[in-house]
Amino acid sequence: MKRRKFIERSSLSLAGIGLGSQLIPSQLFAMPSQNRVNPIAVATWNFQNATKMAGTMLESGASALDAVEKGVMVEEANLKNTTVGDGGAPDRDGNVTLDACIMSPDGNAGSVVYLKEIAHPVSVARKVMEETPHVMLAGEGALQFAIQQGFKRKILLTEDSEKAWKEWLEHKEYQPIINIENHDTIGMLCLDENGDIAGACTTSGLSYKMNGRVGDSPIIGAGLFLDNEVGGAVGTGMGEAIMKSVGSFLIVELMRQGKSPQEACEEAVMRTVKKAPNYKDFQIAYVAMNKKGEIGSYCIHKGFSYAKFYNGESTNNPSKSYLEK
């Protein structure tokens, strides 16, 4: 329940049972204002339009869940971003397939994978969370569910991404590209004024991936995990490496054991570095935030940053990296 509504309802019900007059009004209202938290929105990469949207909503009292959904939707709608939502690069057969997930402070989660023709997969993921007994819907079933829920079908392959795909077909080199010009998957964490954390992650996955491939982004624990008692984490980069280490879950558990968000992100990246002999050939990056609003981030290759909105100010923050060059 939203804090303001809770206050209204508690004071009304106290009055209703005749206790209102025994309590000094300041006692009723002091506690929530003391507990009020300065909201924060953080996201992978320099997606400041998204964190501004979420941060502004949080500052006007929105819940972390509403803010995180609307925040990542900014990038899903951005046709210039070819790795998220509408306008996302297709797989090698020309299909635009989207993956997304969302988690609420109560630990609930929803996810869609291999979703075609729906521009806002994060909102479908939220519907899966709220309207079904399931966590994840895939492919045709996810599309059918989205349509039942009132989402409109849309061709997501733009002229530009079709042209780029056709050019790619001429060479067909399947190489993951590091840092892809700072336009990548968006993973976002929001801390609202009640101190609750929600998160979301949405992507079109690796450009020209194999048909059917699903990465880390919609996998709870890999591309996103949070526990409202501890904090949350989001990942971006080579999804296969993030999935193999269940990176976001690992970070939250390390924070639970007392590590700072920065230390936890560093340890998660180091797990991959130690286990994958070819770690120099790909990028992975994490952003984490704990309940105090402390933020950390770490990646393999230099060039990753995270966007943040806090106290009315929007910033882009370069991340520390394992490799300096």
Positions that interact with ligand ASP (CB under 6 A): 83, 184-185, 203, 205-206, 215-217, 236-237, 239
> Quick one: 236 or 319, whose CB is closer to ligand ASP?
236
Cβ at position 186, least distance to ligand ASP in Å: 9
CA distance 40 to 197: 9
**CB 146, min distance to ligand ASP, A:** 20
Cβ distance to ligand ASP smaller for residue 57 or 219: 219
Instruction: Tell me whether residue 39 or residue 205 sits nearer to ligand ASP (CB atom).
Output: 205
- Residues annotated as part of the active site: 185
Nearest Cα to 43, choosing from 310, 255, 325? 310
Comparing C-alpha atoms, which of 103, 85, 71, 73 is closest to residue 314? 71
- CA–CA separation, 124 and 145 (whole Å): 8
Tell me which DSSP letter residue 220 carries: B
Would you say 51 and 73 are in contact if contact means Cβ atoms under 8 Å apart?
A: no
> Helix (H, G, I), strand (E, B), or coil: what is residue 190?
strand
Nearer to ligand ASP, 87 or 205 (CB): 205
Closest residue to ligand ASP using C-beta atoms: 239
The token duo for 87 is 């306008």
H or E element in which residue 41 lies: strand 40-44
Q: State the nearest-atom distance from the C-beta of 239 to ligand ASP, in Å.
A: 2
The C-alpha atoms of residue 294 and residue 104 are separated, in whole angstroms, by 19
Q: Provide, rounded to whole angstroms, the least separation between the CB of residue 314 and ligand ASP.
A: 22
